[in-house]
Amino acid sequence: MGKRASSLKVKLNRNPEERELFYTTRSLDIRPDRGPPIQTPQRGLTQPELDAKALARYPLPLSSAISGVSRTLNSGEVASLLTDNEFSENQISSLDNLSQRMQHSSLTFAVLQPSMSAVANTLTQDKYRDKFLRMNMAIQQQSGMQMVTVPWVEYSSKAALECFETITRDADFEPVFFLDTRTEPQRLREICDFIKQKIRTDEIHFVGLIHRPIRTTLASCDELWSCLKDEDVALILTGVERYDPNLRDISGIHMNEFILGDILLTEVRRRYVKPENSKKPRNTGRFPVSGVGSALRAFDKEELVVRQLRELSQASLADEVARELGDGRFKVPIENYLEAGTDERKYDIVKGILRTHEFVASQRELNRSREYISAGDTDSYLSEKEVLGNSLRAVRFR
Amino acid sequence: MSVESQIMADGTKCLSYEELETYIEKALRGKKPTILIEDIILLLMNSHPEKPIHGRTMLMKEAFLLYEEILKGGEIETQNPRFVPYRYGPYSFLLMQTLDTLLMAQVVKVRGKTNSRKESFSLTPIGIAKARIRLSRMPSRLQSKISEARVGWDELGTDGILNYVYANYPRYKERSELKKRYKDIMWGKGRAH
């Protein structure tokens, strides 16, 4: 089967920076087949962020060059994917709908990643793993997403390399292989050696990484950085936590920008939702919400943290949200957010506005940090951001 | 091949293309352009000709927002599409008739199952050429504003755009079959968002 012609290029435009083991970062130029060049680090747009925009009724573009859907499938869903036509059809339909909403991004992808327990309980043999990957890639190809991903299914190193080789050779698309960052460094090194060959022959331009809490994956992240930092390949880090409660609520996107990942996408907690005609009633058991000021959070662009609303002044937050989103109509719901504790629709609107504000403000901040990184002046940027600097030191030297 | 202007035996003057163009130019000089309903569709689709609009509901709501939020009361006179409250909110019969005409004239093409979210509308090569001529006299800042707005509206999706339209133009949801799903929300001292 012949490959589709592609003019896609990925090029390092700023050599990797490592400062006394304190941070690791770099900048890339991605030239997609269509659309303007993309510079990294870059925040990718995800489904929950699009849903938040719709809930917030925010009409302006979120305009991310890269959009992605990341879903974790549990054991039952993995079994359904292997055996149930309806499940696959619903997945295709749902991804197709999202690919329409993401159509203005230059690059779009979906990763349907089995959970760790689904791999352990359902994908117990290579024949099931093979079938899962086959079905998974077929769903993506039907859904209109531009890139096709290959999720991590815990093959042995040998089987993984064979599988990667077969897909790279035979598929009619350029695959994006996903690796789990909690995989042991030795195994990752073997896989990276294979991937490096494919990067150098222009067969691979992207590698996906499933994010896990950095404390549990330090050695693996270090290995991945060492192997891939000088390569012309963009690292897509999915599942980044929105904030880290152990590090003064630092934003996961801004933290990981200085650890690993060129394109960063936040964690998707919500799983696949049944279509609207499903007979199952909507779960409204969480209302009223006690302590809505603790349950809802807002992004602070100065400190790069995601704070609980109760820590913030309502009036100044409302001003900041309205200013960042460019629309004074967003002030009223934020000024009255306490009403969201007893009304699910108000809760959804406030949550939508805060998430939309977070995406817009964080993306602007990431663009600003990129200028420093591209100029080789990362130290100056980090000296402005005390919480970020302290968090990076805490992770490396604790 | 260029054809010269000539006078026929009965005195009728046949103009060359160049001369005809000069006459048209003279006639239009100083005359303000007007945006017709057909132009609303062309403006919307030509803002991202390679990206289709998915579903009739999206097309109708995006045309409504284009008229209400960008064209109405703007510097260029615009024909009123006469939106009325209908089954899914604002609806223009005039706009739908114009769309049918454009489909028949192969200016607009449609793909996918009719009346579903998979039904998509975009300009044909004829449509792109027509749009280029029709819209050449529109200010470029207007076209970039529409281009940006279109991205934002597409990202909302069908449910999101209905949510936005019903919240900001509540009078158009009076006859909507979905109005229960999109109830008004009052904040604080009875202010609606």
pLDDT per residue over A9-26, tens digit each?
898 886 777 775 688 999
The arithmetic mean of pLDDT across residues A201-215, rounded, is 94
- Cα distance from B11 to chain A (closest Cα, Å)? 55
CA distance B169 to B65: 10
Q: Which residue of A has its CA nearest to B118?
A: A97
Cβ contact A346–B183 (<8 Å): no
What pLDDT, on the 0 to 100 scale, is given for residue B8? 86
Contact B155 A332 (CB under 8 A): no
- pLDDT tens for each residue of A282-335: 555 566 567 899 999 999 999 999 999 999 999 999 999 999 999 999 999 999
Which tens digit of pLDDT belongs to each residue from A99-117?
Answer: 999 999 999 999 999 999 9
A103 neighbourhood in chain B, CB within 8 Å: 51, 154
Of A54, A62, A333, the CB nearest to B193: A333
Looking at the partner chain, which of B117, B152, B187 has a beta carbon nearest the beta carbon of A333?
B187
Tokens 């009875």 belong to: B190
pLDDT value at position A268?
57
pLDDT at B1 (0 to 100): 56
Closest residue, chain A, to B47 (C-alpha): A104
Residue numbers in A near B154 (CB within 8 A): 100-101, 103-104
Inter-chain CB pairs, A–B, below 8 Å:
74
Q: Which of A212-221, A240-249, B171-180 has the lowest mean pLDDT?
A: B171-180
Contact B117 A62 (CB under 8 A): no
The residue of chain A with its CA nearest to that of B190 is A332
Q: Cβ–Cβ of B51/A103 closer than 8 Å? A: yes
Q: Who among B151, B160, B168 is closest to A54 (CB)?
A: B160
- The pLDDT of residue A226 is 93
Cα atoms in the Cβ-side hemisphere of radius 13 Å centred on A16: 20
Question: Confidence band (pLDDT; 50, 70, 90) for A7?
Answer: confident
Which of B70, B155, B164, B166 to mutate against chain A (most A CBs within 10 Å)? B155
Say what the pLDDT of residue A289 is: 66
Q: Which range (A6-15, A118-127, A175-184) has the least confidence?
A: A6-15
Residues of A in Cβ contact (< 8 Å) with B45: none
Q: Is the pLDDT of residue A42 over 70?
A: yes
Highest mean pLDDT: which range of A20-29, A277-286, B21-30? A20-29
- A54 with B187: Cβ contact below 8 A: no
Q: What pLDDT, on the 0 to 100 scale, is given for residue A259? A: 93
Higher pLDDT, A349 or B182: A349
Q: What is the percentage of chain B residues whose pLDDT exceeds 70?
A: 94
pTM of the model: 0.89
Percent of chain A topping pLDDT 90: 82
Q: Which chain A residues have any C-beta within 8 angstroms of a chain B C-beta?
A: 34, 50, 53-55, 57-63, 96-97, 100-104, 329, 332-333, 335-336, 339, 345-346, 349
Q: Which residues from chain B sit within 8 angstroms of residue A57, using beta carbons?
A: 160, 163-164, 167-168, 193
B65, B153, B187 member nearest A332 (Cβ): B187
Q: Which residue blocks in chain A are alpha helix, DSSP H?
A: 47-56, 75-83, 85-101, 116-121, 126-142, 157-170, 185-200, 218-228, 252-256, 292-295, 314-325, 331-335, 344-374, 378-384, 386-397
User: Nearest CA of chain B to the CA of A174: how many Å?
Assistant: 22
Please state which CATH class domain A9-266 belongs to: alpha beta
* B114 Cα to chain A: minimum distance (Å): 16
Chain A CB contacts of B153 under 8 Å are 59
Residues B78-121 have pLDDT tens digits of 999 999 999 989 999 999 999 999 999 999 999 988 878 789 99
What is the C-alpha separation between B94 and B105, in angstroms, rounded?
17
C-beta pairs of A300-304 under 8 Å, 24+ apart in sequence: A301/A361, A301/A362, A301/A364, A301/A365, A303/A385, A303/A386, A303/A387, A304/A250, A304/A251, A304/A254, A304/A255, A304/A365, A304/A385, A304/A387, A304/A388
Report the 10 Å Cβ neighbour count for A16. 14
Q: Which of A67, A103, A337, A338 to mutate to test the interface with B (most CBs of B within 10 A)?
A: A103
The per-residue pLDDT for A272 is: 40
Average pLDDT value for chain A? 91
Segment among A50-54, B27-31, B70-74, B159-163 with least mean pLDDT: B27-31
pLDDT at A398: 53
Residue of B nearest to A276 (CA): B159
Q: Given this model, what pLDDT does residue A200 score?
A: 95
Q: Kindly determine whether residue B157 and residue A101, on different chains, have CB atoms separated by under 8 Å.
A: yes
Give Cα separations from A191 to A24, A168, A186, A220, A228 (angstroms).
21, 14, 9, 12, 11
Mean pLDDT of chain B: 90
Contact call for B155 and A50, based on CB within 8 A = yes
Mean pLDDT score, A165-178: 95
What ranges do the domains of chain A cover? 9-266, 289-371
Read off the pLDDT band of B189 (50, 70, 90): low
pLDDT for residue A397: 63
